[in-house]
Chains A and B, each alone.
Chain A
Amino acid sequence: MGEKEKHISRSQVEHLAWLARLELTEEEKELYTQQLNEILEYFNRLSEIDTSNVPPTYHVIGKVNVFREDEVQPSLKTEEALKNAPRKRNGFFEAPKIL
C-alpha cells in the first residue's frame, strides 16, 4: 500500500494509543498503522454498497422499552466487591495517583 493511500496516519495511531492508555514501541506503531489501514480499507469497500434506503441498525434483537422497576436489590459485600482488586485500602479500590 502506497503512502498516499493511507487513511490513518502514524500520529493518529499515537493519539489512539494515548486514548487507550497504551504505550507502543516504534515497531508496534508502524505495525498498527499498517493493520488499521487494512481494516479501514475493508470498511471502505463496505461503504461502496448503496445503503441510502436502509435505516441504521443499532440493535439486532428489535426489542424496545425493557425496564426494571425502581426497587432496591441487595448489593455485594465489600469484601466481594474488592475481591479481584489488585490493590485496596480501607474498603476503597486503590489506583495510581491521578493528576
Chain B
Amino acid sequence: MSLDLKVKIGLEVHCQLTSLKSKLFCGCSSNYRGKPPNTCVCPVCLGLPGAMPVVNRKAVEMALLIALALNCKIAKTTFFARKNYFYPDLPKNFQISQYDLEGGEPLASNGYVTFTVNKTRKTVRIRRIHLEEDPGKLVHPGGIGVSPYTLVDYNRSGIALVEIVTEPDFESPVEARSFLQKLRSILEHLGVFDGSLEGAMRCDANVSVEGGGRIEIKNISSFKDVERALSYEIIRQKDLIKKGVKFGMETRHWDETKRVTVTLRTKEEEQDYRYFVEPDLCPIVIGDELIEKLKKEMPELPDARKERFIREYGLPEYNAEVLVGERALADFFEECVKIYGKPKPIANWLMGDFLQCLHSLDVSVSQCKVKPEHLADMLMLIDKGDISIKIAKKVLWEMMKTGKTASVVVEEKGWRRITDEKFLLEVIGKVFQENSKAVKDALVDGKAIHYLVGKVMEITKGMADPELTNKLIREKLAELKND
C-alpha cells in the first residue's frame, strides 16, 4: 500500500482576548498571570450560588472584529449556552459557551483565511467563531503522577476566550502551523491579543489519514507543538494503516514532554454535554450599525501591511511577509525606519541576526532589550565606518544581552575601528622592525603584504581599518623601494 495517503487536518483554536481589562462575565481583572492563586476571583467566576453573569461589551466587540477580519458571516442574534460536564477546573460544573440552536447561531460562521506556506497562497475555511469562558487551572505539585491531590486556581476562570474552528482544509502539519502564525498576526494587528503571553493561544486538532478514522488531539499549547503533534499522529496512523490495523474515531492527548500522543478515554460525547440556553444571559442582537462602526475601526491587517511594505519601502515580498508575520516585529521595523531611514538594511538585520539572537535567547520582540533606536544607532555606526559588519554582529549580540546602546558597547569593548593614521603608522613601524624577512618578501612579491596586514590586525585585535592599513603598508613599502 502506498504511504502517499491524503491527510486532512482541522483546527480548533482558543485565543484569550488578552487586551481586555476584565473577565467575560464579571469585573475581575483579566491580568491573572503571575498572581497568587485565587486572588482574581469573585462569586461569578467561582460559580457561587446566586451569582449572576453579565457580558463584557468589549469582549463581544472584539470577537466581532475578529469575525470580520476572518471574513465571516455575522449572526443577527446569538445566545450563550451551558456546556455541562464535571471537572474541577469548572466551578459551576458547566462552561458558558455557544452552540447552534434554533433561532440563534454562534457569533459568526463561514469565513476564510488566506496565508502563505512554502511561498504559495493557501485558503482555509473558517466554520465558526464563538465566545466562551476559560476554565480555571489545575496544578499538580511534583507532577501529575506524583501529586496525591489536584489543586485548583480559579484566577483564569471566566477569562474571555474566542474559539475559532476551521474546516478540515489543511493537508500537512506545516500548513496548520503557518495558518496559526497568520492567525496570531491578524489577532495582534486587531489589538485584541498578545501572542507572546504564555497559554494565550491553545489548540486542539483533528487529523484523518485516508483509510483511517478521525482522531482528535487535545492540549497543544505552542505552534511548534502543533507541527510536532500532527507529524507524530500522521506517522502513527500511516503505520497502523500499513499494518492493516483498523481504527476508529478517538481522542488523544499530546504529551509535550514525551512528544507523543496518548489515548484519552473520554466517555463524554457531544450529546453528553447537554447544551441548553444559558438562562442567566439575555440574547445578543447584533445590529448593522455596530457592524458598520467596527468596519470603520478596522485597523490595517497583515496582508494590507505587507503590500504597503513592498510599495512604500521597496522590500522584496518575502521580507515583507516575514516582517508582518509578527506585529511586534513589523512595528519594530517601522519605528526603526522613522529614525534611520533606510528600510532595506533594517529589514536585513531584523530578519537575520536580530531574529537569530532572539531565538537563541528565547525572548520575544517585545521582551527584547534592543529597541528600534538602538538598532538605528548601530546602523549609523556602520555607516560612519566606526564598526565593520563583522563587529556589528558582535555589537548586536552584546546589546541583546545587556540592553546597552551600540555606542556604549563599542566604547566599552574597544571595538571602534582604528582610523588614526599616526597610531597605525606606529604599529606598522613596529611590525616592519620585527618582520624584516616578510618585508623583504613583500618588496618582491606583492601578495606577501597580507602577512604584514595580518600582523597589524593581530596587534590591534582586528580593530585597525583594513583598507587604511593596506594603503599605509603599501606606501611604506614604496618608500623602502625608492631608498
Q: List the interface of chain A (C-beta within 8 A of B).
A: 15, 18-21, 55-56, 58-59, 61, 63-76, 78, 81-82, 87, 89-98
Contact = CB atoms under 8 A, between A and B. Distances in A.
Give the dominant DSSP class at A's interface.
Answer: loop
Which of A21, A56, A93: most chain B CB closer than 10 A? Answer: A93
B152 A68 contact: no
A76 B150 contact: no
Given A65-B285, A75-B41, A75-B42, A58 B22 contact: no
B409 to A, nearest CB: 41
Contacts of A55: 103
B268 interface: yes
A92 to B, nearest CB: 4
A82 B408 CA distance: 52
Contacts of B88: 93, 95, 98
A72 B150 contact: no
> What is the interface residue range for chain B against chain A?
35 or more
Interface stretch (B55-63, B214-222, B427-435, B436-444): B55-63
Contacts of B272: 15, 19
A63 B87 contact: no
Interface stretch (B162-170, B275-283, B335-343, B412-420): B275-283
B38 A78 contact: yes
Contacts of B40: 75
B39 interface: yes
Contact of B284 (A21, A56, A65, A97): A65
A66 B55 contact: yes
Contacts of B274: 19
B139 interface: yes
A18 B55 contact: no
6 contacts: A18-B267, A70-B22, A71-B27, A75-B39, A78-B37, A96-B149
A55 B101 CA distance: 12
Given A55-B103, A58-B277, A95-B88, A68 B41 contact: no
B145 to A, nearest CB: 10
Nearest to B268: A19
A91 B150 CA distance: 13
Which of A64, A71, A90, A97: most chain B CB closer than 10 A? Answer: A97
A95 B149 contact: yes
A58 B103 contact: yes
A49 B279 CA distance: 24
B283 to A, nearest CB: 5
A66 B79 contact: no
Contacts of B149: 87, 89, 94-97
Contact of A92 (B20, B38, B60, B87): B38
Contacts of B46: 76, 81
A73 B284 contact: no
A78 B40 CA distance: 9
Contacts of A98: 87-88, 138, 150
B38 A82 contact: yes
A59 B285 CA distance: 14
B150 A96 contact: yes
